[in-house]
Structure 1
């Protein structure tokens, strides 16, 4: 196995060098930190060299374990951590010591630093509670968005919550004191109907105003220049639908959508293929990086889902990364653990030259500095 991995790493480095001289686009933040710019350039160079695989809350907990050092269900099955690690800011707005999934923020912060030091990539979503009434992110009982933009009744509440998140993200530092680059994914699944920021609770203009204010505030007022912004929708069937609420090229670096597999696997695969095709077009026109920020098949009951459904579909498109959702319970998980039905196929997925996990990412030094191999 070691010889195979070495061969694939060398192959990946060859691909990386081939793309090194391709035209590169700068981050939407003109004041992005050096490490953030290097990461954005690196992720552009890696387009076509393989899809980076990610997992939400990967090193915090898994099936039948929580908060064990250096543990990961992905690593337990493949021998390597994923390349992308998802986290959530939810509950930071209430000064909670733990996030929405029970991870102490102090631990989460250390795990983020560990990821960065080994050359992995961190991304954050935010299931923010409804600032207008304190209910959950899933509360859609009122048109909240228009109340949060400047002049809105709850604008000051929203700003105070942004201040808390900004303070936390500003404290995500590497060993040299540098700000850790973050792929920040606010208001995800915005074309759905289940969050207070979704299309059923706001007009396109209201939503765009909230997005633009949020990004401008974090950049200008809070001086956060380590954020690469991910615009991630849910349902759409055309380029026009995808862009209906798009805030503009100055407010996004990555574009993507969340797409889960349910009972009909052929339907999932067809829909995923179609939407990735639309994404290819939009990314090329707007000079953005395409990604699949959330996907998965709960409990993965299909033994060869990874190599027969997900991988061949991703391989047809220019996708930077794919992130599977969390392993929360024994009946609610999205990557296999040792002995799970799809574990052997997941190893094949991992061994494919078309995927990138941490072991192949670390040698590439995507931040422009050496990494540890931990």
Structure 2
């Protein structure tokens, strides 16, 4: 692992991620516990659970607003996120977090790619940009150090910073940074968090594409084996399951060569309507020959109230045409939901984590 001082529970989770991808994959959903298609802020509710009677195995959320200039320690969002992380851990689920950080140089949002000086500014010792970024990391350190399980142990989190760096839309991506700048930003962030006493992170990198990719896609701007624990992949609009399969097979091959678990960290087809979406477009390619992945996380179901014209949803919810197919997907022995999980935070016999 990247962190030589990773906690015992974090090492155990890492081993279980490797073990589970030899048997099937976990279903994940971003913000599943925070809101759904027609609800928000209801403790214990989930669109997934409302359809199949079970929670996702993987709970995904975004740390950015707890770190950057949107930070408000008294906000309901901070309290709700902490509550949902604790609830997910109590059920034995896996937690992963991305980071759509605002632009620390311009003050714009995560998609403000107007300057090529952002990453360089963070890496410049003594700069205002670096000072601001460090403050954001300090807030993250404070937040995660407060996340303890019922035994008082730090809760492991699969941390996914600077995702989709293969694209141009974010201030850390290939449109704004050079390869060396990105690599140094990644290493700087990892080192800073470890120096700050965070030893519960599994660091996952996640390039993005929407087509059939070869192995080189997953090592694009690679920070080094000593700085990456896990290989992710953001893959949207997979109307062609053959492309999805080709990419998953390539991802699995890199995972095997590097002996690091892998996962689909963001995926989905916005406003999908195929009644057999789950079994035909997801299950078949994800369990085909040569594919071994630990989890697939679908993007959020935005809360829309009664505004059915809003089409920003990527997973199932009550009344969706794929509801029955999702139940079949849930019942397949190769898909893991909350109640299917082994103890993800205890060591796995026969797997050594170094």
Same fold per TM (> 0.5)? Answer: yes
Q: Matches of 2:31 and 2:151 in 1, distance apart?
A: 25
Aligned length: 334
Matches within 5 A, 1:233-312: 233-235=207-209, 237-261=213-237, 265-266=239-240, 269-312=241-284
Counterpart-to-counterpart distance in 2, 1:98 and 1:308:
44
Matched, 1:187 2:162: yes
Deviation at 1:282, TM superposition (A): 1.2
Please, which runs of 5 or more residues in structure 1 have no aligned partner?
1-26, 370-374
SS in 2 for 1:200: coil
Deviation, structure 1 residue 44: 1.3
Once superposed, what is the RMSD of the aligned Cα atoms?
1.8
Equivalent of 2:178, from 190, 198, 203? 203
Aligned residue for 1:15? none
Unaligned 5+ segments in structure 2 are: 348-354
Query: Greater helix percent: which structure?
Result: 1
CA shift digits 1:145-166 (9 cap, x unpaired)? 1111143742122111111111
Give, in angstroms, the shift of residue 310 of structure 1.
0.8
Q: CA deviation at 1:76?
A: 0.4
Whether contact under 8 Å (1:95, 1:164) holds in the other structure is no
1:347 aligns with 2:320: no
Q: Match of 1:159? A: 134
Deviations 1:28-71 (A, max 9, x none): 21110011111111111112211100001111110111111211
Farther-moved stretch of structure 1 (241-250 vs 61-70): 241-250
Q: Which moved more, 1:290-299 or 1:152-161?
A: 152-161
**Contact (CA 8 Å) 1:60, 1:103: kept in 2 or not?**
no
2:88–2:94 Cα contact (<8 Å) kept: yes
* Aligned mate of 1:112, from 76, 85, 88: 85
**Whole-Å separation in 2 of the counterparts to 1:111 and 1:76:** 17
Distance 2:257 2:22 in 1: 17
Match of 1:357 among 333, 337, 349: 337
Match of 1:325 in 2: 299
Post-superposition offset of 1:314? 0.6
The answer on whether the counterparts of 2:207 and 2:217 sit within 8 Å (CA) in structure 1 is no
The answer to whether the 8 A contact 2:275-2:322 is kept is: yes
- Report the counterpart of residue 352 of structure 2 in structure 1: none
Deviation of the 1:332 alpha carbon: 1.3
TM-score by length of 1: 0.86
Q: Is the 8 A contact 1:85 1:121 kept in 2?
A: yes
Q: Distance in 2 between matches of 1:79 and 1:357?
A: 10
Q: Give the whole-Å Cα distance in 1 for the aligned partners of 2:170 and 2:123.
A: 17
In 1, the alpha carbon distance for the partners of 2:62 and 2:76 equals 9
Q: Structure 2 CA distance, aligned partners of 1:285 and 1:333?
A: 35
User: What does 1:213-228 align with in structure 2 at a 5 Å threshold?
Assistant: 213-219=188-194, 221-228=195-202
If the length of structure 2 is used for normalisation, what is the TM-score?
0.90
Q: 1:160 to 1:201 in 2, by over 3 A?
A: same
| 3-state secondary structure, aligned to 2:257 | helix
Is the 8 Å Cα contact of residues 218 and 231 (structure 2) preserved in structure 1? Answer: no
Distance 1:97 1:56 in 2: 22
